[in-house]
Amino acid sequence: MRTAKTIGLTLFLGILLHGCGGAETEEKKEVIKPIKFGMVESVGGLSSRTFNGITQSGSETNLSFRTGGMITKLNVSVGQRVNKGQLLAQLDQKDALLALGQAELDVNNAKVQLETAQSAFDRTKKLYQTNNASLSDYEQAKSGLSNAQSGYEISLKRYDLQKSQVSYTSMYAPMTGIVSMVNAGLNEVAGAGQPILVMSQEETGDMEAMAGVPEKYISQVKQGSSTTVRIPSQSGEFSGVITEVGYSSTGGTYPVTVTIENPTEEVRPGMPVEVTFTFGDADQESQLVVPAKAVGEDENGQFVFGLNPKEDEVYEAQKMAIEVGSLTSGGFIVRSGIEQDQIVATAGLRTLYDGMKVKLVKL
């Protein structure tokens, strides 16, 4: 009996271990390998690339206070039309008005002291001219008048400065237009220079598109070049002209501003757009180039692993036989076997196989 029990226990443990081993194998098969990648691109001739962006007003202006404080008045909302000089927002003025009142009082006191010093000087001067006052008395009166004059001028400057501080608590419309954004609310504390409102002129012809261009293409973007702008929510395309090319990158792309020519009334700030840029030279012959690191070779010839999208950022590797020509600075010239914009693996070719699931390494 003991032998039978031992055999049964051994079989049970074997089955259990085998089941665990199978689970580990299945789990290993689900591991998705990260891989570096490149793209087959056209070099020479004319080529086009489309990048996403957003519309904005060319006259867009950020409005802020020159001083900080609590917002006690906010007379506008998004989309409201306002006239030039209209009061838009105001900060709490209690402290500023109190300081202004004190400055005005100082001016009045300094004026009284100046008038008193002037009278004393005039009297001492007459006495000095009739030899009834000494030279020291005359000089002392003259010095007192000079000090009083300086004190009065300083108090006037302080008063003017405080008047400016009061004016800094009010925000007026610099132009007639539309409030396109409100970045603060009533009773919020605003800092000096913090954008509170955004305004733009109410003109249909004053629209721009801001697109992000990758580092690879930014050197080919030239100011004054023509582009095509498409707004997915509207039919048709608009012509555009590049007016500004960003010098520093933001999130891996460089901002490029395109003026939209003859936009319709339906084009408004904040709409998603697709901006198509044209690169290259029409006099040069166009050729496909594949990254040099993507090309491998076996007994059947040269090949690459194309990466085709599946789902949830997962790609499937596919071995593709290709024929390449000479090596250039951008990679091998493609003669046959692959098409433009095909994503290809550029590392770990020996570990890849047909149907293998991978994910792209974001560089």
> What pLDDT, on the 0 to 100 scale, is given for residue 45?
65
> What pLDDT, on the 0 to 100 scale, is given for residue 213?
92
> What pLDDT, on the 0 to 100 scale, is given for residue 262?
85
> What pLDDT, on the 0 to 100 scale, is given for residue 69?
93
Contact status, residue 71 vs residue 89, Cβ threshold 8 Å: yes
Helices (H), 85-238: 94-129, 135-167, 215-218
Query: Which residue do the tokens 């957003």 mark?
Result: 54
> What pLDDT, on the 0 to 100 scale, is given for residue 286?
74
For 343, residues 6+ apart whose C-beta sits below 8 A from its C-beta are: 37, 38, 39, 306, 307, 308, 315, 360
Q: Is 104 helix (H, G, I), strand (E, B) or coil?
A: helix
Each residue's pLDDT, cut to its tens digit, for the chain (363 residues) gives 455 555 555 555 555 555 555 444 444 456 788 999 998 987 776 778 899 999 888 878 899 999 999 999 999 998 899 999 999 999 999 999 999 999 999 999 999 999 999 999 999 999 989 888 899 999 999 999 999 999 999 999 999 999 999 999 999 999 888 898 899 999 999 999 999 999 887 665 678 999 999 887 888 899 999 999 999 888 778 999 999 999 888 778 899 999 998 888 888 888 899 999 987 766 667 788 999 999 999 999 999 999 999 888 899 999 999 999 888 877 898 999 999 889 999 998 889 999 999 999 875
Give 52's Cβ-side CA count (13 Å radius). Answer: 4
How far apart, in Å, are the Cα atoms of 30 and each of 19, 24, 348? 17, 10, 18
Contact status, residue 96 vs residue 165, Cβ threshold 8 Å: yes
> What pLDDT, on the 0 to 100 scale, is given for residue 313?
85
> What pLDDT, on the 0 to 100 scale, is given for residue 23?
46
Residue 145 carries which side chain, given as an amino acid letter? L
The DSSP 8-state label assigned to residue 285 in this structure reads P
Phi/psi region, residue 262 (left: phi>0; alpha: psi -120 to 50; beta: rest), is left
Q: pTM for the whole thing?
A: 0.52
- Which tokens hold the place of 278? 């044209």
What gap in Å lies between CA 335 and CA 304, rounded to an integer?
13
**How far is C-alpha 203 from the geometric centre of its chain's CA atoms?**
24
> What pLDDT, on the 0 to 100 scale, is given for residue 27?
47
> What pLDDT, on the 0 to 100 scale, is given for residue 43?
76
Of residues 137, 152, 197, 134, the one with CA closest to residue 170: 197
**Interior angle at CA 292, CA 309 and CA 316, nearest 5:** 15
**Interior angle at CA 174, CA 173 and CA 177, nearest 5:** 70
> Helices (H), strands (E): how many in the chain?
4, 25
Contact status, residue 104 vs residue 156, Cβ threshold 8 Å: no
**How far is C-alpha 174 from the geometric centre of its chain's CA atoms?**
24
Q: Pseudo-torsion of CA 173, 176, 179, 182, nearest 10°?
A: -10
> What pLDDT, on the 0 to 100 scale, is given for residue 270?
82
Domains of the chain, earliest start first? 33-44+286-360 (2.40.420.20), 47-59+204-281 (2.40.30.170), 66-91+169-200 (2.40.50.100), 94-167 (1.10.287)
Neighbour-count burial of 234, counting CB atoms closer than 10 A to its CB (0-12 exposed, 13-18 middle, 19+ buried): middle
Q: Is 85 helix (H, G, I), strand (E, B) or coil?
A: coil
